[in-house]
Chain A
């Protein structure tokens, strides 16, 4: 079997694709790669089916070993990366197709910006499909669990010419990974908490280290409109900005619980949903109102 071997998955590595639409009423969020733009860029560079899967790594990087020859590329949160082979080590630039040989190791180091880096090969990752997608639901562990050291990821590599995307597109993409503001509109419960939306726009938040694919936790020195509302649970979507009674907001990510009871005071515009998955713990972020 042609495979990529997981030597060290780092903080969290998982197989992700375009997601799993249509099952939210069963409590299953769409999920998929947190940063879909990075995934699409990789597949376009490698000439892949846009529905193909990639490996999403988180913050600390990861180490993989190729069990067969395969063209591959990296995108998303920038990090130093190296291919180690019998002939020595060579650096891996992002947004470029490189050729790995059987036995080569790929070391992705700690990200320098953003959170999530994507590894795709030319061809396909052939892990099991459940409910129309290979995307890993981390908490429920299907179709397969998050990657562990020793796992073998079946792949079907294809030939692909060595090439890179143009520098301008790469620079635009890197800026998108490193966002310091997110565009929002008032959410369904903004009228209920009259000061909350304005307070959200006025504050600078620190991105919490307890963030994950389900949600990003924000902290402000002065909480946003603390309250004591207990609302009837409503359905939720990625990009909803919930305000728990503490006044410290939560941005729902792609693996969000499909329902929630905290007031939704704002919603992030669709064009900025990818940026949620790249919000780096410890960095500042602000909200900007759009109409």
Chain B
């Protein structure tokens, strides 16, 4: 583990240089411990694959004292038993109207679209972190048979709810944004709603599975909860 000030108000903790399940478990445990630890002046603790960034309010910061407190919190997190992570099943409609890249992905891997759907729904995923845009989950666990490069030219507008893959990752677009991931289907669930008590449907460390649904089921569930 490496701790260094990334700016005069943000401390970067790097656990490893590569993504793995065991490294990510450390990130989640440290995020929980640091969030609960009430570091004086800390206003945001952000996770990525193998690192955490703690942003502090602008004030006189005692850099050495903060580093010591952070090391202590992370050490105690490492000793704590890991919490059982919540699992969420995301319904996905793979109808042609939504699955903008399903046929291309199938052709790329020389399998049928039905086999792509079967593989996509067979895996258990982990939310590595939320980033890119509000509520966007970066999911690890995509089967190797589906690893596919990004689009050469990103779309200027990906519809909200699009369930997508890129390289080794899976994700879901909470808003209509530009994006270069390959779109396999669409979920009727609302991934992010700033007016909800819990704005983001998914959180760091959660387990995720996908379940295929029909177009009729999609229309029935649009905007609902899992």
Contact = CB atoms under 8 A, between A and B. Distances in A.
Interface residues of A, number: 38
B8 A267 contact: yes
B52 A130 contact: no
Contact of B47 (A25, A232, A237, A269): A25
A189 to B, nearest CB: 9
Interface stretch (B100-108, B133-141, B148-156): B133-141
Most B CB contacts (10 A, CB to CB) among A130, A139, A188 go to: A188
B44 interface: yes
A28 B175 CA distance: 12
Given A140-B192, A188-B12, A25 B50 contact: no
B10 A137 contact: no
Contacts of B136: 27
B46 interface: yes
B213 interface: no
A25 B175 contact: no
Nearest to A271: B58
Nearest to B46: A235
B6 A188 contact: yes
B177 interface: yes
Interface of A: 21-28, 30, 128, 130-131, 137, 139-143, 185, 187-188, 232-237, 239-240, 257-259, 264, 267-271
**A-B pairs with the 5 shortest C-beta distances?**
A259-B131, A267-B7, A235-B46, A235-B53, A130-B194
20 contacts: A24-B44, A25-B204, A26-B134, A27-B131, A27-B132, A128-B195, A130-B195, A137-B134, A139-B133, A139-B175, A140-B133, A187-B7, A235-B47, A235-B131, A236-B53, A237-B10, A257-B131, A267-B8, A267-B10, A269-B8
